[in-house]
Amino acid sequence: MTDTLHESPVDQPPAEQPKRNRADSYHPAMHGFEGRRMPAGHIWLVVVIALAIAVLFNSGGFLRDANGMRQGLLRTVMVGVATPIDAVAGWLHLDAGQQALAGLLGQNTDEADGAALLAEQSVPEPSTAPTLPALTNPTAADPLKILVVGDSLSTFVGQQMSALLADSKTATVSSVWRNGTGLTNPAFFNWEAGARSIMRDEQPDAVVVLIGGNERNDMTLGGRTLTPGTADWEAEYERRARVVMRAIMQEGAERVFWSGPPTARDPQWNDVYADVNAALSRAAADVPGVQYVDLYDEVQPFSMQDTIDGERVVARQRDGIHWTYPGSLPAARQQVAALETVYGDLRESRSTTTEVTSDAQPTAGTESAGP
C-alpha cells in the first residue's frame, strides 16, 4: 500500500470580484442622471412649496382647523396666520374646490343656509308663530323616523336609543354626529347649515339634538368679544340655539327634542354647561315644536360611576364629561320617554335584552381626550 502525501493547501487570495457598474442599477429612463442627488436644502424647499400650495388650495380648512383649536396662544397665532392666507386664496379663487366640499359637509359659512348663525347684529324674531306640522301616527306600515344628531355626546345616546327601540314596530332610529362641534364656533362647523343639510339627507319625522360639550369658547357679536360666564354670552348662545332650532323645524321636522350636556367633573366646564342648559331651556320655550329635555342634573353630585338597573357601572369616560356606553342608558331612556309624551308608546314590543350595559360596545365617535 502506498501512502500518498497531501500537501496542505496554500491560502489563495480571494478572487477579485468584478466591479459593478453603478449605472447598471438605474432604470433606462434615468439615463443621464446617474449619481445625481438632490441636496437636503432643495428637499426642504420642495416640501415647503408643496405645503404652501396645499394650504392655499385648502385655506378654508386651514382656517377652520385653527378656529377649532382650544383657546390659547397657539390658536391665536394659527388664526392670525390662516386668516390672511384664506383672504388671498379667496381673492384668487383658489379655494373654489374646498368651498364646494365644505358645502357638502355643512361647513360652508358663505352660503345663506348658515348666515343667521353668523349674524353680527340682532336678527328680528318671527312676529307670528308658525303652524306646526301634523304629527305622524306611528304604525308598523309607517314607523316614526327618529334622527339623533349632535356632537360626540350624542353618539352613545343614539346607539342606546337604537337598542331600546330595536324591537319596536313603530319607530326607527338613525344617528348623525359631528365630533368637536358646537354653536360657539361656526367657523369650524356651522350647525345652521349643517342641520339643514342633514335634514334634507335623512328626512326624519322627529329629531333628538344633543349639542353643548364644546362650548367653552368666546363668541363675537358686533365686534365685541363675549366671554363664557357672562350674561351677554348666554344671551348670544340662546339666540344661536333658536336659529338652529328654527332651521330644523323649517326643514320638515314634526318635533325637536333638544338637550344640552350633563354635569361635568371640572368646575369650570360645569359652570359653562349650566349656562348652556339655561339658554337652551329658554330658546326651546320660544320655538314652537321644540321641547327641552334636561339631562343636566344639578341635584345629583357628579360621579364617575352610576347604578343602572341594580348594576354598578363606570358611567363617564376619563375626561369627566362624556358618557360611557352603559352610562348613557339613562339619558337615552329619558329621550325615548320625551318622544313618547308626544307620539305614544314606542316600546310596546321591546325586548328587555336590547338594553345593553356592557362596555364591549362600538366606540365610534367618542373623544377620550376632552370635549
What residue segments make up the domains of the chain, in order of their start? 38-104, 112-120+136-354
Length of the chain in residues, anyone? 371
| CA pair distance 162, 357, nearest whole angstrom | 14
Could you give the CA distance from residue 350 to residue 135 in angstroms, rounded to a whole number?
Answer: 22
Tell me how far apart the alpha carbons of residues 253 and 181 are, in angstroms, rounded to a whole number: 22
Q: Give the mean pLDDT of 250-254.
A: 96
Residue 264 C-alpha from the chain's centroid: 19
- Is pLDDT above 90 for 19? no
Strand pairing of 144-150 and 206-210? Answer: parallel
The residue-averaged pLDDT of 197-217 equals 97
Where helices occur in the chain by DSSP H, the ranges are 40-57, 59-67, 73-91, 96-104, 154-164, 191-202, 231-250, 267-286, 329-343
Under a CB-based contact definition with an 8 Å cutoff, are residues 277 and 263 in contact? no
CA angle (81 as vertex; 77, 85 as ends), nearest 5? 165
pLDDT for 50-83, tens place per residue? 766 766 666 555 555 565 455 567 767 766 776 7
Are the CB atoms for 256 and 249 separated by under 8 Å? yes
- Whether the model clears a pTM of 0.85, i.e. scores above it, the answer is no
Task: Quickly tell me which residue has 314596530 as its cell.
Answer: 169
CATH 3.20.20.80 for the 112-120+136-354 domain, yes or no = no
All three cell numbers of 72: 390659547
pLDDT band at 321 (very low <50, low <70, confident <90, very high): very high
Short-list 87, 92, 131, 130, CA closest to 110: 87
Q: What share of the chain is helix, strand, coil (3-state, %, to 5)?
A: 40, 10, 45
- CA 2 remoteness from chain centre: 95
Confidence of residue 359 (pLDDT cuts 50, 70, 90): very low
**Interatomic CA distance for residues 102 and 193, integer angstroms:** 11
Mean pLDDT (the chain, rounded): 80
Task: Count the neighbouring beta carbons within 10 Å of the beta carbon of residue 313.
Answer: 17
Check if the beta carbon of residue 340 is closer than 8 Å to that of residue 348: no
Minimum mean pLDDT among 214-228, 282-296, 354-368: which range? 354-368
Highest-confidence segment of 36-40, 254-258, 297-301: 254-258
Q: Are the C-beta atoms of residues 117 and 243 closer than 8 Å to each other?
A: yes
Task: State the pLDDT confidence band at 110, using cuts at 50, 70 and 90.
Answer: very low
- Going by pLDDT thresholds of 50, 70 and 90, the confidence category of residue 183 is very high
State mean pLDDT over 172-187.
Answer: 95
Q: Is the pLDDT confidence value at 23 over 70?
A: no
Q: Span 41-51, mean pLDDT?
A: 72
- Please, what is the angle between helix 40-57 and helix 73-91, to 10°? 70
